[in-house]
Copies of this chain bind each other. A is one copy, B any other.
């Protein structure tokens, strides 16, 4: 297996809203917040008609890797309920190996209420539910030992048991000479847990770091250039994404600035970072040079923002073949 991802198992509940509707709900546009079940239910009641599409950041990445022709697995927790069955089905049907047993008790399968505004931006209110109950017992040592890259979702770095699970995965991966990749996921997570992310980096536990420019400058306050140099000093390889401005890849003495791929209409930016990581990791595990890794990331991100939902709707293998 080339990429084994560990992250929140979530079903996205997507609705299109106006800026005014979002304001009436008292929600700050472009924000990401975890909410309890009661708040999620209240917001859902006030939400326009929606569609349900399986999501979860790292799970989206695994679907992208498989769509490119690679092999991927996912570790994450759902409950044994209908949305859990939907999540499991969609991931397996996409060709991703997924064996984490569903919880039989406790909170329901997590869901991300996703409000899409006409400018294609999205605002999340996520009830993580069962996803947050991942623990060290869910870490499949055999799967990690055979993965080229173990990809960790920062969003999962929150409850103590989930952190223990991620630390266990890091330990197994590094012990087996596997590479560990981490995405910082969200500026809020960096605000809350930046000291622990920095500790992981300082201790040489992370081989590949993914972050967008807000996350990286929250992790290392100052200019983007200074933050990128700090990242270079603590991590062998990092990709900093900059939306329509492309991405910056740094590795030891190398620096590459890669343009964003061209897109027709941007419909929904959900999954942009997840699919960038998919393209990048596919390239990395297939011997591509770093510039090509980033280019693959840009192409995959461009596909996923051209439609609603965080998973590709067309064969990424064909797309990047045609685009190369």
Contact = CB atoms under 8 A, between A and B. Distances in A.
A108 B82 contact: yes
A275 interface: no
Contacts of A82: 81-83, 108-109
A263 interface: no
Interface string A37-74: 00000001101111111100000000100000000000
A55 B293 CA distance: 41
Given A82-B82, A82-B108, A108-B82, A93 B51 contact: no
Nearest to A50: B90
A94 interface: yes
A309 B44 CA distance: 20
Interface residues of A, number: 23
A89 interface: yes
B81 A45 contact: no
A206 to B, nearest CB: 30
A51 B53 contact: yes
A45 to B, nearest CB: 7
Contacts of A108: 82
A49 B81 contact: no
A53 B109 CA distance: 18
A122 interface: no
A125 B44 CA distance: 29
